[in-house]
Structure 1
């Protein structure tokens, strides 16, 4: 299927002079494109900042109002609701346009933030987190859905690069900002501060975003696929927070089984959740989604890096947090410097990115497992480089994967294709974190534990978690025809 130009699909076409200019990230901030960039980037910013700020203040919430037994669900419900929110972008009522979804998403996110800020108990915080996740998922899905309406095609990769940069900045600044609200009941302010920007975005959505014709094919809601996928997300997210290795492995297996069942239903059913060909490995769009998910699975293993740095190398907690943020920094840097590639060079960048991520992840196994204090930059330099390259591999190819999905999706399935990008990110992150836990615990992180257990876990974890990226590299070598 040959891709169609996206410039003429919105009621306010992008001016041709902008489209004709050389693709540069700064074009996103030109006078004609700035309103859309502020709105789409603002939605991603809310999602990213809230993610890291809440992770930082979550222990403070427990200390203030209790609910330690529910602590794991703070993230689990958020992830599951975010997946549902991203699906809503494609499955919205036909009377509700993309601008309407943006307004609803920002208002829902605001409502969730207010619920969390005023919550008297952890149970109410969880309700707020679910509502927040629903709104955040809508905003995240819309960021990709609106790309084709706001920007000319040469800037699609640059818009994806901007989103990566926002996540990179949030990774660095989120924990610091969260630390400002970590004392006593000040954690409530971490949710209050998100209200003004979210409400402003809801108020200006109709003014700053283009009116878009609904070009979706008429279809029924794929309730069976939605139910199976959400159940899989809940199970895998729960697995990511389960301490018992056996239970964790069982939950992960059950989640994989439900995901497989969803794929079977998707292939055989007349009503689809994903764009045509997305579950057929012979189709280019299916391979693009598979590469996306595999890359995120691999990079999600960075969740254990701070533990190994502190336990095996005596790195202080704050410094270990900023060192692991190098993964996000690497993603951002390579995305900026390679986002202008196109054609054959973009295809090569995807393969190179997969190989780079696989190699860097594998290199972390001996670098992190070998014990001894890191008391100087020279000692830390190899691991620092590996962490940068681990994220850099994803950044090298992510924008090209996004652009490829938008090109290969059918004209009437662009919203499904866009929403599925955010879904793949959430699924990959959840599966990656859970799988990393199974491998680390199985390799001795908890039993026998201690220094020896941590060393064994580091070896096995980063050796094994390089495999999905290797598989992604192999998939990227399959030629696209048509």
Structure 2
């Protein structure tokens, strides 16, 4: 089956500028916030202490984000599109302010959790309201723009955090995020159409929500442990909880994902799995600065730029590929490009590589990121159009949940692979890159079923 569609132009999307700014901006602030803390936390710890709680800043954010993405439907029904966005930006700004004034690490963790709630709500709303805020012919363009914000966030987050830490003012990064959220909230009243509420209040999937939060917490915990056996145990626990989540969802009246996902012959399940495989590949970026400094001999700033090449490839190719009408080949090529990029980059990892070899990392990373970008917007549209009547909005909101879970699971698996290769940095690099090449290869199967 082809997943081609009638595609509007970027100029046509430009007539919906305010809407695009709100939808994309909400996703962008959340994406930046995931990575901004990694660059400034070493400086923050020197200021307020709390080194034993260092790694929990990511866990608190991710778990809260997962919770928020799952209550988007309830929020929309109660407050509508405009009210929900104002709540999302308000909660995110409040969490950012709390982080900025934190006198201690426990307070910073609370702020990160509040940020995660706001970011999860904004991310879920971004995908959910494409379905109602834009005409169907612009769904591909809108999905490309919104999904590209994850790549931009991966690039801008470390830059904002590193810049703030460089000048000894880590708190200013959180102030900037709060100001940006407040500025975006100004656009909301005129950006979104009236309505945007579901026809009826979706029930709260309490059991599914508890299981998926537990799975995210377990996998996030695995990513911050140093012992390989302990990491493997928590990943196994996370997988068991995911299996329980799927079993519960299949029987539940109140489900997180559309009911069609669990029906025999469902195409939507393969679309979601392909999105998960592609999005998890970005987790490799967490360790690329380490490899750039230790193996490539790069200064920190240059190593950070190399790490952002994957996200840059994602963002640029996504905006270009949104123009395609016949998209089946792009969906199939996405996992292949990502897997090939990881394999080639793994082969280029050597002790004390020459400068030309190190420079070759850049186009290879960019090419791998293109694999995500050429497929992601069309998978998002396919998710919305493959769901039966009445489930389009829920299928769109489910994309945010899938992306959030991919971030948590990908980060934990990346940490496990790096630890398996330790203490050698070279061996760690090869374990990580070849391991994610294998994961990306699984996407060849899921993409074929999706397309």
| TM bracket, shorter-chain basis | over 0.9
Deviation at 1:185, TM superposition (A): 6.5
SS at match of 1:181: helix
Q: 2:405 matched to 1:424?
A: no
Instruction: Give the SS at the match of 1:97.
Output: helix
Partner in structure 1 of residue 414 of structure 2: 436
Compare CA radii of gyration and give the structure with the larger one.
1
Q: Does 1:174 align with 2:157?
A: yes
Question: Which stretches of structure 1, 4 residues or more, deviate above 6 A after TM superposition?
Answer: none
SS state at 2:259 partner: coil
- For 2:9 and 2:360, the matched residues in 1 are separated by 32
Q: In the TM superposition, what are the counterparts of 1:76-475 in structure 2 within 5 Å?
A: 76-92=59-75, 94-182=77-165, 186-216=169-199, 218-280=201-263, 282-342=265-325, 345-368=326-349, 370-375=350-355, 378-443=356-421, 445=422, 449=423, 453-475=424-446
Question: Does the 8 A contact of 1:315 with 1:373 survive in 2?
Answer: no
Mapped contact 2:335–2:441 kept (Cα < 8 A): yes
Q: Secondary structure at the match of 2:165?
A: coil
Does the 8 Å contact 2:339/2:368 carry over to 1?
yes
TM-score (structure 1 length as normaliser): 0.88
**CA separation in 2, counterparts of 1:112 and 1:479?**
38
Distance 1:479 1:297, change over 3 A: closer
Distance 1:92 1:164 in 2: 22
| Shift, 1:280, TM fit | 4.7
Contact 1:280 1:286 in 2 (8 A): no
- 442 and 220 in structure 1: CA distance in 2 versus 1, 3 angstrom threshold: same
Distance in 1 (CA, whole Å) between partners of 2:227 and 2:17 is 49
Q: Assess if the C-alpha contact under 8 Å between 2:283 and 2:411 holds in 1.
A: yes
| Alpha-carbon contact 1:89-1:415 (below 8 Å) kept | no
Higher mean Cα deviation, 275-284 or 151-160? Answer: 275-284
Given that residues 99 and 206 in structure 1 are in contact (C-alpha distance below 8 angstroms), is that contact kept between their aligned partners in structure 2? Answer: yes
Looking at structure 2, the residues matched to 402 and 382 of structure 1 have their Cα atoms a distance apart, in angstroms, of 32
Q: Is the 8 A contact 1:112 1:130 kept in 2?
A: yes
Partner deviation per Cα, 1:405-429 (whole Å, 9 max, x = no partner): 1111233323322221111111112
Task: Report the more deviating stretch, 215-224 or 468-477.
Answer: 215-224
* SS of 1:180 mapped into structure 2: helix
SS at match of 1:314: coil
Give the corresponding residue for 1:11: none
CA distance in 2, matches of 1:251, 1:126: 22
Give a deviation string over 1:216-261, Cα, whole Å, max 9, x none. 4554321100000001111111211212211111111100110110
**Distance 1:179-1:432 versus aligned 2 partners, 3 A rule:** closer
Q: CA deviation at 1:440?
A: 2.2
Deviation at 1:53, TM superposition (A): 2.7
Q: Which residue in the other structure is 2:18 paired with?
A: 35
Greater displacement, 259-268 / 165-174: 165-174
Root-mean-square deviation (CA), in Å?
2.3
Answer with 56-65 or 42-51: which moved more. 42-51
Q: Deviations over 1:73-131 (max 9, x none)?
A: 11111011111111121233733212221111111111111211121111011001100
| Greater alpha carbon shift after TM alignment, 106-115 vs 207-216 | 207-216
Flag the 1:171–1:479 CA change in 2: closer, same or farther, 3 A.
closer
Alignment: residue pair count = 450
Deviations 1:285-329 (A, max 9, x none): 110001011112233223222222222221222111100100011
State the Cα distance separating 1:263 from its structure 2 match: 0.2
How far is 1:203 from its partner? Answer: 4.6
**Alpha carbons of 1:180 and 1:313: their partners in 2 closer, same or farther (altered >3 Å)?**
closer
Residue range with higher mean Cα deviation, 391-400 or 115-124: 115-124
Unaligned runs of 5+ in 2: none
1:163-200 deviations in Å (ceiling 9; x for gaps): 24433333333333323321686222222222233234
Please tell me whether the aligned partners of residues 275 and 410 of structure 1 are also in contact (alpha carbons under 8 angstroms). no
Q: 2:76·2:196 contact (CA, 8 Å) conserved in 1?
A: no
Contact 1:112-1:132 within 8 A present in 2 as well: yes
Unaligned runs of 5+ in 1: 6-19
